[in-house]
Structure 1
Amino acid sequence: MSNWDLMMPGMGLTAIGVAGVTISYSGVAHTFIDGMHALTGLTMFIGLIFLSAGILDGGVSTSNRAKATTLVIISIVLSFATFGLTMNSSNYTITLAGLLMA
């Protein structure tokens, strides 16, 4: 019972946000990074909020399209988390992530 009126804008905003964050960190000028990563990161997280609301509307969905969308979202989140943890030099963040997963 997914709500595609919420899922489609959520998928679009998430895709635009992921593309913008990737472009902003791909080697463009530093002044461009400051504004673009914040705006596209916000767009990505708003898209994820719409997407999660659309997936969970009326309970957990059993359709194959909603399951595929859920797997895509989980893979995006896990890839960003893995990248963030591997590029981080602070031991506190890894300890905090371990405590949250426990």
Structure 2
Amino acid sequence: MSRRVYAELTRTPGRFPSIDEIAAGLCINARTLRRRLNEEGTTYLELLASVRQALAVDYLSTSFLEVDDIAAALGFSDAASFRHAFKRWTGRTPNEYRAGAGTAGAGTG
């Protein structure tokens, strides 16, 4: 079930469906989806964070998008929230990560 939810979260980059939308697409109710994810040892929010992290790493490694633009694309309210989450995920700021990934360039972070 978690793989199916992950796939739904990555289907449309920049738009992340709610748990209710995903459940409806799977023809189950949200409560059942939560229970099944819990049985697999995960939650919708953990899967969403995982998708956001993977996309952030990809954007920082392969593009010259500004950190503000990456934050917006990942649904963060502002760049500061994105930087905080990215540092929590990786132990580095987005700009530190980008410098270490060998992609010179843009970003404010």
If the TM-score is normalised by the length of the shorter chain, which range does it land in?
Answer: 0.3 to 0.5
